[in-house]
Structure 1
């Protein structure tokens, strides 16, 4: 079955996952959803990144109800028969920008905030759909400190300057934040990533990719948000090019396997994720989970898997700006012999 999930005041939640939230949509395994993911930074250029529906979201959700995180989430989606210990297989099929504009904020939580003079700077980008690239349209210094999610800054209140003249960056739409509700009481911030998914900020989670999320509560309660149109590994300024997306995805409930952390499948690679406040520990967590994948799903011995990881896997820093830092580990799928059956993970 196909479902439409628009972002309205009754179908979004700002800054949190919550196992007690009323579902915005109920589905069965195999259903396909077209959902609106709205950026929490549309206020950086409201004349370019807002329409009436987006303005309604910003005006109807009080600033003091946008916590403890910052991301504007659509959902949650209740998946029939999903229970703790299951996995959600989310097949991302399409991600289309809602507008032709996005914003990058060099924020106070960015890696080089002090080195950059402790200022916060907004750069507005415009998409060229003919070439699938984005260029900087203008930039300005944010007045004060960016502390209120969804702060609206009108263009006439700041001095706009040209930026990145002639530079073009590839547009690769993806979701910075998506996941299931953690098994916890009350609100859980969208900012740190974890076993539930959350703010992973891996630009590879786009159309054509499949994510596997460990289910923690009945119904899974899956939500999406923090849409991006481009980002580099590390996300060092604190944000990507933040821009609203319309996303089509299919959710399949899997009861035949379990994995301890969010697992990403692309056409060419398996990617596992490790998280911790300490980047070294995040690296070790990613390594342990890749070892788990190779042993349990590819029937390698631990010794063989460890050797293979050292010569074939690529580790990268996913992000260093979300409090809990992220490392991803990629393994090429094509190095394994073909299976005799159509067996999936």
Structure 2
């Protein structure tokens, strides 16, 4: 099934487009973070309607998803259009005072993005993915415990995203695809593209996580956000510590020592100054199939 309705908030009040069962697959058709408002190099970010930034497709209601469960999003495939947009933004990023506002339309052909005289291999990723928060509405341009605008380049084909359920049905939304993006996204945009995301949905009953988790082929990551790096790191470290305690059977201090030996802290979204919180991920390598940080009964 393919869905293509766009919303601009994560909210328990958003009406679902469809209802699905555990095990179902869904294709999310997305538009770019500018709602496809930019179509030439002459247009600047100042020309667009800011109320239509960071659209996400959805929401999707997952039957039997209840508060305290985890919605599991297996990313089967991501396809992107034949062009994308990168733009500098006013008063966002460390060099905004030294650079002009500028837009570049970038051609994409056979998995290559053509930037000036360089050929960049694309790695399509999902910038916005999440469930509804418990009560208030949160704009799709902002991250949080519900997921949202995490701008994390490891959320790509083959990854699995674990999201805590805050409201019945979960209400999954996906959008803001990037064909190319560096960690930190320093100017505030990646190569923003329209496209399609194919996912298969699973459900884990009564397994508490406080922040989104991402599983890749070789690592587990906790993704957190805050206005301050130290606070975001504290959140991620606490979640990872608890997961490792339960999976490995070690005490808190041994886990802490191990995290310092094997844990990698990476910045997903860090284009400061910016009103959007800094987003980081804390990753731990997989050691064997028996030591899973998240499991189902």
Give the CA deviation at 1:208. 0.1
Q: Deviations over 1:7-61 (max 9, x none)?
A: 2xxx221x211211111111011111112011132222269xxxxxxxxxxxxxx
Correspondence for 2:290: 339
- TM-score using structure 2 length: 0.89
Give the CA deviation at 1:115. 3.0
Relative to structure 1, the CA distance from residue 184 to residue 338 in structure 2 (aligned partners, 3 Å threshold; closer, same or farther) is closer
Q: Provide the C-alpha distance between the structure 1 equivalents of 2:195 and 2:147, rounded to a whole number of angstroms.
A: 19
Q: Provide the C-alpha distance between the structure 2 equivalents of 1:199 and 1:224, rounded to a whole number of angstroms.
A: 10
Q: Which has the greater radius of gyration?
A: 1
Q: Provide the C-alpha distance between the structure 2 equivalents of 1:340 and 1:4, rounded to a whole number of angstroms.
A: 36
- Identify the range of structure 1 (231-240 vs 103-112) with the bigger mean alpha-carbon deviation: 103-112
Correspondence for 2:29: 36
SS class of match (1:181) = coil
SS class of match (1:168) = strand
Aligned runs of 1:15-54 on 2, under 5 Å? Answer: 15-41=8-34, 42-45=36-39
Give the CA deviation at 1:63. 5.2
SS class of match (2:37) = helix
Correspondence for 1:260: 210
SS class of match (1:285) = helix
Alignment partner of 1:176 is 2:127: yes
Name which of 297, 301, 316 aligns with 2:251: 301
**Which consecutive unaligned segments of at least 5 residues does structure 1 have?**
48-61, 137-163
Alignment partner of 1:115 is 2:65: no
List, as ranges, runs of 4+ consecutive aligned residues in structure 1 with deviation greater than 6 Å.
Answer: none
Give RMSD over aligned pairs. 2.2
Q: Provide the C-alpha distance between the structure 2 equivalents of 1:109 and 1:4, rounded to a whole number of angstroms.
A: 37
Alignment partner of 1:134 is 2:113: yes
Q: Provide the C-alpha distance between the structure 2 equivalents of 1:46 and 1:111, rounded to a whole number of angstroms.
A: 23
Instruction: Tell me, yes or no, if the aligned pair for 1:135 and 1:169 is still in contact at 8 Å.
Output: yes
SS class of match (2:150) = coil
Q: Provide the C-alpha distance between the structure 2 equivalents of 1:225 and 1:245, rounded to a whole number of angstroms.
A: 9
Relative to structure 1, the CA distance from residue 337 to residue 77 in structure 2 (aligned partners, 3 Å threshold; closer, same or farther) is closer
Correspondence for 1:224: 174
Instruction: Tell me, yes or no, if the aligned pair for 1:271 and 1:330 is still in contact at 8 Å.
Output: yes
- TM-score using structure 1 length: 0.78
Correspondence for 2:238: 288
Aligned runs of 1:127-276 on 2, under 5 Å? Answer: 127-129=108-110, 132-136=111-115, 164-165=116-117, 167-185=118-136, 187-276=137-226
**Which consecutive unaligned segments of at least 5 residues does structure 2 have?**
42-47
